[in-house]
Structure 1
C-alpha cells in the first residue's frame, strides 16, 4: 500500500493506516485474487487516495495503474481501487447499473455506501434506496 501511495504521488503515514487485510470472495469459483481492504483513519484521507488513483488513470489513459507499476513480477494485471461496499450495496449497485443501461441512464455511481443514478447532465441525481425504488424507475 505504501508503494502504491508513493506511485500515486500522495503521502500516507503509518499512523493514518488503521488496517490492511484481505476479504473473502463473494464468488469462490472466480480466479481473481481476493480484494484487499485498506482502512484509513479518516474519510478525507480515503477520498484523497481514491481521487489520486483516478487522476493517475486519467493522465495515463493507455497505461492505467497495474501490477508492473508497483514492481510485482508476472503478467501485468490492472489494479482497481474503489470504496468498500457491503454485499447488499454491491448487489444494489450491480442491479442499478443493469437497469440504468436498459433505461439509457448516463451515470451510475456509489459513494459513502449509497447508490445514485442520473439520466443526463441536466437532471438531478436520484438516490437508489432499495430494490423497490429501483424497480419503480422509468
Structure 2
C-alpha cells in the first residue's frame, strides 16, 4: 500500500511538472506567435510605405526631369540672339565690335554696329586649353543672329579652300588660323552636341547637325 501511494505521489508530481512545462511552452508559443503576427503586420505596413515612397519618388523624379527640360529650353531660348565666334586670337587692344563687323564685311553680311547689343570674351571651360577665349556676340534679334550665322556658313561653302580665318580679320600669322562661328549652346545642349559628334565619328557619318 505504501509503495502504491509513493508511486502515485511521484506520478502525480511528474504529471504536475509536465503540465506546468506544457503551460509554459504554450505561453511561450503564444508570445512568439503574437510577436510573429506583429512582425507580419509591421512588414505589410512597411511594404505599403515602401510602395508609397517609390510612387512619390517616381513622381518627384518625373517632376525634376520636367523642370530640368524646361530649364534647358529656357536657357537655350535666352541664347536665341547669341552667336559664338571661336579661335580668334586675343590681343590686349582688341576691339571685338570691329572684329564682328570685319567678319560681316568679309562674308557680305549687311549688319551694322547698331544691330549688336553686346560683345565680349567668355571664360574657358578648360583653363589648360591653349585656344583663345571665345567671343560671345548678342544681337538685337534672333533674325539678325540667323542672318550673320547664315552668311558665315555660305562664305565657307563658297570658299572651301579659304574658309573664314584670321587673314580675313587682318591678323598676321605664319599660317592663317580658321575661325568658327557657332550657335551659343547651353551647357546641356553643348554636351548633347558633343556626344552626337563623337557618335557620328564612331559611325563614320560625314555630317552631324
TM (normalized to structure 1)? 0.72
Q: After TM superposition, which residue ranges in structure 1, 4 or more long, deviate above 4 angstroms? A: 103-107
Per the alignment, in what secondary structure is the counterpart of residue 69 of structure 1?
Answer: helix
**How far off is 1:18 after superposition?**
0.4
**Which structure shows the higher strand fraction?**
1
Q: Give the counterpart of 2:122 among 14, 19, 23.
A: 23
1:3 paired to 2:105 = no
Q: CA deviation at 1:25?
A: 0.5
Q: CA deviation at 1:42?
A: 1.0
1:40 and 2:100 matched: no
Larger helix proportion of the pair: 2
Name the count of aligned residue pairs.
109
Alignment of 1:47-126 (within 5 A): 47-75=146-174, 76-103=176-203, 107-109=207-209
User: How many Å apart are 1:74 and its aligned residue?
Assistant: 2.2
Mark the structure with the bigger radius of gyration: 2
Shift of 1:5: 0.6
Mark the CA change 1:11 to 1:104 in structure 2 (over 3 Å): closer, same or farther.
same
Post-superposition shift, 1:15?
Answer: 1.9
Measured against aligned partners, the alpha-carbon deviations of 1:4-29 in whole angstroms (never above 9, x if no partner) come to 11111012122210000011111111
User: Which runs of no fewer than 5 residues in structure 1 stay unpaired?
Assistant: 110-138
SS of the aligned residue for 2:167 comes to: coil
RMSD over aligned Cα, in angstroms? 1.6
- 1-side partners of 2:168 and 2:198: how far apart? 32
1:38-96, Cα deviation, whole Å (9 max, x unpaired)? 11111111111111101111111111111011111223111100111122211111112
